Amino acid sequence: AQPKEPALPLFYGWFLISEVEEKIKCSTMEFLKTLDTLEAFKKHISEFTGDADKEVDLEQYFQTKAPLHCTTEFCDYGKAEGGKEYAEQQVVKDSCGTGTELSVVGLIVTPRTFGARVSLTPEQLLLWPTGADKLGIPPADLPGVEALPVGSRAHVTLGCAAGVEAVQTGIDLLEILILQQGEEKAVTVEELELGTLSYMGQGRWYLALREPVTCDATFSSFSE
């Protein structure tokens, strides 16, 4: 009989260590509270509620998914393309269980997702699968994605609106980055203590953090 192949995990990624996870949850919730009270945000509230007169409690609106992490490869237990090749790489095997520092440089808020943008170091990019920035996105739906630097999709999903899958966060982030690179400039810009807030239309908000937030994380696989 053939030896049984080891099962592939659901995904690989960097997982924030628990102290950092708590800290990030608190500080990002504070940001949502601030955003919620801004006149500029209230002006576009209907993009979240479907009704300009309705209020939204963003802290309730987004459901947090634990554990907080930055996905590198989504294997889906072997069902996703490329998972096996990724798992077999020496750098992936060697990195499991090792620590690193993730640099969070921005926050995104859309009617679908709430996420933290991560800027990867050259060393971290070794664990970033080729093509991951496009994976799971029909290219026709996101023109301009090819022009973004490798690793642009790297993020931590902080929360999703009801009925939205976490995979959406990376797509929303890419969409915002494409808009930033294009002709279209941000509609509203507001200087907050945390950084510069831009409105990108259609309920999409981007906060460029004044100071990147460094998060201790561990590379590992995850299965449910």
Q: Which residues are catalytic?
A: 69, 155
Of 50-58, 103-111, 164-172, 182-190, the window that binds ligand 2AM (rule: CB under 6 A) is 164-172
170 belongs to the binding site for ligand 2AM (CB under 6 A): yes
Contact 72, 12 (CB under 8 A): yes
Exactly one of 16, 20, 71, 206 binds ligand 2AM (CB under 6 A); that residue is 71
Which of residues 41 and 74 has its CB atom nearest to ligand 2AM in the complex?
Answer: 74
Least Å distance between CB 168 and ligand 2AM?
A: 7
Of 90-98, 166-174, 187-195, 204-212, the window that binds ligand 2AM (rule: CB under 6 A) is 166-174
Which of residues 71 and 95 has its CB atom nearest to ligand 2AM in the complex?
Answer: 71
Which of residues 158 and 186 has its CB atom nearest to ligand 2AM in the complex?
Answer: 158
Tell me the per-residue interface mask from 91 to 130 with ligand 2AM, x by CB under 6 A, - otherwise: ----------------------------------------
Exactly one of 166, 197, 207, 213 binds ligand 2AM (CB under 6 A); that residue is 166
